[in-house]
Structure 1
Amino acid sequence: MFITLEGPEGSGKSSQLPALAEFLRSRGYTVLTTREPGGTPIGDQVRQVLTRMENQGMSPRAETLLFCAARAQLVDQVIRPALARGEVVISDRYADSTLAYQGYGHGNDLAVLRQMLHFATGGLWPELTLLLDVDSAAGLERRRSSGGEWNRLDDYALSFHQRVRQGYLDLARSQPERWVVVDASQPMDAVQQALRQVILRRLEPALS
C-alpha cells in the first residue's frame, strides 16, 4: 500500500512518521519511508535548490517544475520498486503538495498541474492520504520554535500558507475515499494514535 502524509507547515508530519513506521514494522509489515522533495541523491540536490533562502527570486513555474523533477526520480528509483516488492510505502508529502502549494498557494492552473503530475508520477497516486490539519499561523509558529531550519518555502506570507491549508481541505473534501483529515493541533501522542488507527483500518483488511 502507498500512503502519504500531507499538511501545511508545522503540522508535524515529519515528527510523526518515524514512530508510525516503527509501529507498523512491529506488526510485521515491511515499511519504506521517504520524503519530498528528496528521497534520492538527485532529489536531495533539487531539495537544496528549492529550500535555500538565497533562491527567493525563484518563479512559481520554476518551483513547480523542480518539485515535479524530484518526484519523478523518487517514483522511478524508490517508490515503484518498493511497491513491487510488496512493501508499505509512506511518503512525507507527494503530488498533492504541488496542488496545494503551487496550485492553491501560487494560483497556478490546477488542470495544468494535474497533467504535469500525471507525467511526473507515471499515474501513481496513493491509496490513502492523511491530512494533518493545523491552523496556518499556529503551524508556522511551531516551525519557528522547533529549532529547525527556516527555509524559502516557510518564508512565504501567511496568506500564502492560508491558501495552502484551504487547498488541502478542498482536496480532502473532493476525494473522501482517499483522504482522512486528522486534527494535528492535538498532543503528539493523540495524533499518532489517530494515524495508526486510520492506517490499520485500511491496511489490515487489504492484506487479510
Structure 2
Amino acid sequence: MFISFEGIDGCGKTTQAKRLVGALRRAAVPVIHTYEPGGTRLGRHLRQVLLDTRETAPTIRAEILLFAADRAEHVETVIRPALTAGQMVVCDRFADSTRAYQGYGRQISAEVIEQSLQLATQGLEPDLTFLLDLPVEMAVQRLRQRGSPVHRFEAAGLEFHHRVRAGFLALAEQYPTRIRVIDATRSPNDVHTAIWQVAAARLTPPLL
C-alpha cells in the first residue's frame, strides 16, 4: 500500500506522516517513510536547487523537469522496490504536489504537468492520499512561529498559495476515492486520530 501526504506548506503533513508511520510500526506493519523532493541521494542535491531562494534558483520549466528527475529516481530506487518487497510506503508529497504547485500555482498547462508525471512515475499513483487542508493565513502563521529558514515556495506570496490550496481541493474533487481531505485546523492529536481511522480501515486485514 502506498500512502501520500499532501497540502500547502505549514499544514502539518510532515508531522502527521511521521505519526502515522509510528502507529503503523507499533502495529507491526512493515513500512518505510520517505519524502519529496530529496528522498534519494540524487534527490538531496536536487532539493537544494529546488528550494533555493538565491538567484541560482531554476526557471519554472526547469523546475518541473528537476521535480520529474527527483521523482523518477525516487520511484525507481525507493518506492517501487519497497512495494515489491511487501512494505507499505508513506511519502511526504508526491505527484499531486506537482499538479497543485506547478499546475495551479505556477499556472503551467495540465498537459505539460501530466507529461512530466507520466515520465517520472510510469503510472504509479498512491493508493490513498491524505490532503491536510488549512487556510493559507493559518499556514503562514504556523510557518512564522516555526522560525525555520523560508524556502523558495514558502516565499512565493499569498496569491500563489491560495491558488495551490484551491488546486489541492480541486484534485480532491477529481479523485474522491483516493484523496481524503482532513481538516488540519484541529489539534495534532485529532488530526492523527482521523488519519489513523482511515488508514487502519484500508489495511488488509483492517486494524480497526
Alignment match, 1:131? 131
Q: Which runs of 5+ in 1 are unaligned?
A: none
**What is the alpha-carbon distance in structure 2 between the residues aligned to residue 96 and residue 206 of structure 1?**
26
Is 1:55–1:152's contact at 8 Å kept on the other side of the alignment? no
**What is the alpha-carbon distance in structure 1 between the residues aligned to residue 33 and residue 203 of structure 2?**
16
**What is the alpha-carbon distance in structure 2 between the residues aligned to residue 166 and residue 124 of structure 1?**
24
Alignment match, 2:39? 39
Alignment match, 1:151? 151
SS at match of 2:130: strand
Q: Report which stretch shifted further, 84-93 or 20-29.
A: 20-29
Is 2:13–2:92's contact at 8 Å kept on the other side of the alignment? yes
Partner letter of residue 87 of structure 1? Answer: Q
**What is the alpha-carbon distance in structure 1 between the residues aligned to residue 188 and residue 121 of structure 2?**
31
Equivalent residue pairs, number? 207
Alignment match, 1:115? 115
Tell me the TM-score normalized by structure 1.
0.96
Partner letter of residue 109 of structure 2? Answer: D
**What is the alpha-carbon distance in structure 1 between the residues aligned to residue 105 and residue 111 of structure 2?**
15
Q: Which runs of 5+ in 2 are unaligned?
A: none
Is 1:49–1:55's contact at 8 Å kept on the other side of the alignment? no
Alignment match, 1:6? 6
Partner letter of residue 118 of structure 1? Answer: Q
**What is the alpha-carbon distance in structure 2 between the residues aligned to residue 139 and residue 56 of structure 1?**
27
**Offset of 1:148 from its aligned partner?**
2.1
Q: Give the alignment's Cα RMSD to 1 decimal.
A: 1.4
Alignment match, 2:197? 197
SS at match of 1:125: coil
**Offset of 1:56 from its aligned partner?**
6.8
Alignment match, 2:49? 49
Is 2:14–2:92's contact at 8 Å kept on the other side of the alignment? yes
SS at match of 1:53: coil
SS at match of 1:155: helix
Moved segments of 4+, more than 6 Å: none
